[in-house]
A and B are shown apart, each in its own frame.
Chain A
């Protein structure tokens, strides 16, 4: 399993632009708060540049440059503000409101979920927000396939340690855990699931959003 930071292979897939939108979102949210991983991605982007240079070159059409200049001359320059792009919070842009105000569906006393897969049209993965109330416990469960999770708010702990806001964790079928929300805020996570959760406790039908 991967804990706290994405592993280098995932960062490489991000740098190469090969991840699905939900996975890219998880990495992007982590990078915003992790200078260490940002620096690793910088190096990986340089690797991309060097690979591009290392490959064969293909001549462009003779008219290509003139066409380009004509396009530049004939299109009004965008405003400097439009070029610089304001810093956006991709999660806010995606959800349109604060994560605490979403129409959460309570599944257990301590656990609420919200399936946001429909925000990613054309993707095959399930994308789920989960909320564990402060001090709350989730039932023991394992994971089928790889489940990538990023902590958006608060923190949770399990036998592997404490996962704080913007921490990254990848779990699979070998990782059975019983997360507990620690700290005074509700713990909200974003998970990208390649396959449904598999519950191991007695609450078999409850946490799992796909067995309703």
Chain B
């Protein structure tokens, strides 16, 4: 396990070209407050920090459940997500992800897992939810990408505020209502191509699409 200063030094040497990464020495100052709380939970089982995280994120997770069509399981999802946050907090590393991003992936995985258990047929699948949905390498030290990860949430938040509402609506349906692009097109009564182009425009702004060779 690398120390913080170590990882930062390495990031400076091999820093990505993104302009936001030009001042990595300021990364420490930019730490998000939720990440600080999450680390307190991980290191010291700090219950007050945990309660503050709960007050901020539990209402988001509850809405996430409702918008995903499992309103009757909303409180249960909140419980599952927060038990998971408590247990996994020792693995959280602020250099690798903003706390909200880390919590989003837990909420997503728990939502998938809950639906999977509900729909479970007599035959069980050999692979578990996390085997398919947890990004491999997340628990490793990847100093080159760590700062990029840390910055990406801030950058996404800023970029999103400049996106037209019609693009945000489409993205919200994909993320919050687990709708495929086709389902979003049907619901908004617009062609699938329009949905895809709105998403592509948005992802372009968010610089996710840079490496796409085929669009």
Interface residues of A (CB under 8 A from B): 1-5, 7-9, 11-18, 21, 24-25, 28, 31-32, 35-61, 64-65, 67-69, 71-72, 75, 77-78, 80, 83-85, 87-88, 90, 93-94, 96, 118-122
Contact = CB atoms under 8 A, between A and B. Distances in A.
Given A9-B181, A18-B174, 20 more contacts: A5-B211, A7-B215, A15-B108, A16-B108, A28-B131, A35-B145, A42-B145, A47-B160, A49-B101, A50-B153, A50-B156, A51-B172, A55-B60, A55-B63, A55-B67, A71-B79, A83-B88, A84-B91, A119-B126, A121-B121
B38 interface: no
Given A54-B172, A68-B83, A24 B66 contact: no
B191 interface: no
Contacts of B60: 52-53, 55, 57
A18 B180 contact: yes
Contact of A51 (B171, B178, B200): B171
Contacts of A59: 59, 62
B133 A17 contact: yes
Closest 4 CB pairs of A and B: A57-B59, A49-B104, A121-B123, A49-B100
A4 B213 contact: yes
Nearest to A86: B139
Contacts of B58: 60, 64-65
Interface residues of B, number: 85
B134 to A, nearest CB: 8
8 contacts: A9-B200, A13-B181, A14-B133, A17-B109, A21-B125, A46-B104, A54-B168, A90-B127
B152 A46 contact: yes
Contacts of B74: 58
Interface of B is mostly: helix
B21 interface: no
Contacts of B174: 12-13, 16, 18
Contacts of B196: 9
B133 to A, nearest CB: 6
B160 to A, nearest CB: 6
Interface stretch (B6-14, B23-31, B202-210): B202-210
A191 B124 CA distance: 21
Contact of B87 (A57, A61, A77, A96): A77
A158 B104 CA distance: 40
Contacts of B66: 58
Nearest to A91: B127
A27 to B, nearest CB: 9
B54 A43 contact: no
B100 A43 contact: no
B98 A49 contact: yes
Contact of B83 (A44, A71, A96): A71
A53 B153 CA distance: 12
B160 A85 contact: no
B135 interface: yes
Contact of B86 (A25, A32, A67, A72): A72
A200 to B, nearest CB: 23
Contact of B125 (A31, A35, A57, A121): A121
Contacts of A48: 101, 104-105, 108, 175
B20 to A, nearest CB: 12
B87 A78 contact: yes
B124 A121 contact: yes
Given A39-B145, A67-B79, A58 B59 contact: yes
Given A42-B97, A49-B153, A68-B83, A60 B105 contact: no
Contacts of A58: 59, 62-63, 66, 74
B119 interface: yes
Q: Which of B75, B130, B203, B207 has most chain A Cβ within 10 Å? A: B203
A83 B125 contact: no
B212 interface: yes
